[in-house]
Amino acid sequence: MFIDQVTVTLKAGRGGNGCVSFRREARVPKGGPDGGHGGDGGSIIFMADENISSLAYFRFHPIIKAKNGAPGEGGNRRGRRGADIRLGVPVGTIIREMDGGAILADLTEHGRTVVAARGGRGGRGNASYATSTHQAPREWQPGRPGEEKALFLELKLIADVGLVGFPNAGKSTLISRISAARPAIADYPFTTLTPNLGVVDVGGYRSFVVADIPGLIEGAHRGQGLGVRFLRHIERTKLLVHVIDLSPYSGRDPVEDFRVIMAELEAFSPEVARRPQILAANKADLIGGDRARLLRLKRMAARRKIPVFAVSALKREGLGPLVEAVARELDLLAGNNGGGQP
């Protein structure tokens, strides 16, 4: 189950109470105070794990509680510390506080951790209150409560390239041909219901990650179709590849399709709409000798200075030049911005 947004309530462990105790030993007429400190409460820690692909765990575990610390004991024995809870989340998870929406962490690297809710400190035992003038203290300190937080977890996939386009334009077929990804493919709209990631091997120890986003339609930013909720997964990408259905049997106008997709991207995020772009005119094997649709698309793209590649993902035609162009553009972008995320 692919879940990319959840709310979760965290309750860190309470610290254990300090202890009031006095030594009672044979042949020791004046035993002193020996009450130990309470143990600290357990903390709740999030850790980015590249082997996890969804936030589904938290859908079924919306409340997470850590263990309390044990109280102190006589003999200056400190109480046992409450065990921490370490929760794995997908790489690319953003953790926000529900109260105000402040970002607590953006876990973009495998193994990166953040303490989301810190356990309470254990209380002091009476031994720590002893002084030269106060030799039999009965004071002690209660353990402090652990932090309680309501958090919003949002997953934004980390990919170099985002595939965008109408349903049935061939995005899933394309990613299955250029990478090892195996998304669902069928001849009906909205086959892809969740984003898919694929690693494209360019050769020469070069590769890049592609994200296939469920199809957009006009009015997506108003909730039509699947809406734009999955577009958050291309917010981290450096490059967009528009997959346009060039087939004359689709009943669609390729130039109008591009305009509609651009309008939806602009409505979602002007910054995303300004990303560098490449246009993949798919199903070019179906146009036969009628190249008018392709020529119109190329003229429109030329005015916008967007490179166009006529391909057939199904028949694996023209994919090599497209992949090389994407790799070159990513290399240029890495040189321009130091390889960081835009």
pLDDT of residue 156: 87
Contact 219, 261 (CB under 8 A): no
pLDDT of residue 62: 95
Residue limits of CATH 2.70.210.12 in the chain? 5-155
pLDDT of residue 26: 75
CATH topology of domain 161-337: Rossmann fold (3.40.50)
Ramachandran category for residue 47: left, alpha or beta (phi over 0 → left; psi -120 to 50 → alpha):
beta
Measured on CA atoms in the order 57, 60, 62, 66, is the torsion positive or negative?
negative
- Pull the structure tokens for residue 192: 């892809």
Reported CATH class of domain 5-155 = mainly beta
pTM of the full predicted structure? 0.76
Q: Which residues pair with 278 in a beta bridge?
A: 241
Q: Give the per-residue SS3 of the chain.
A: CCCCEEEEEEECCCCCCCCCCECCECCECCCCECCCCCCCCCCEEEEEECCCCCCHHHHHCCEEECCCCCCCECCCECCCCCCCEEEEEECCEEEEECCCCCEEEEECCCCCEEEEECCCCCCCCHHHHCCCCCCCCCCCCCCCCCCEEEEEEEECCCCCEEEECCCCCCHHHHHHHHCCCCCCCCCCCCCCCCCEEEEEEEECCEEEEEEECCCCCCCHHHCCCCCCHHHHHHCCCCEEEEEEECCCCCCCCHHHHHHHHHHHHHHHCHHHHCCCEEEEEECHHHCCCCCHHHHHHHHHHHHHCCCEEECECCCCECHHHHHHHHHHHHHHHHHHHCCCCC
- Pull the structure tokens for residue 2: 């692919």
Nearest to 307 by CA among 320, 319, 297, 316: 297
**Cα–Cα distance for residue pair 99/10, rounded to 1 Å:** 13
pLDDT of residue 1: 57
pLDDT of residue 188: 40
pLDDT of residue 338: 39
pLDDT of residue 239: 94
Residue limits of CATH 3.40.50.300 in the chain? 161-337
Residues of the chain with pLDDT under 50: 184-186, 188-192, 225-226, 337-342
Model confidence over 222-235: pLDDT tens digits?
A: 555 445 667 778 88
Nearest to 169 by CA among 194, 193, 190, 195: 190
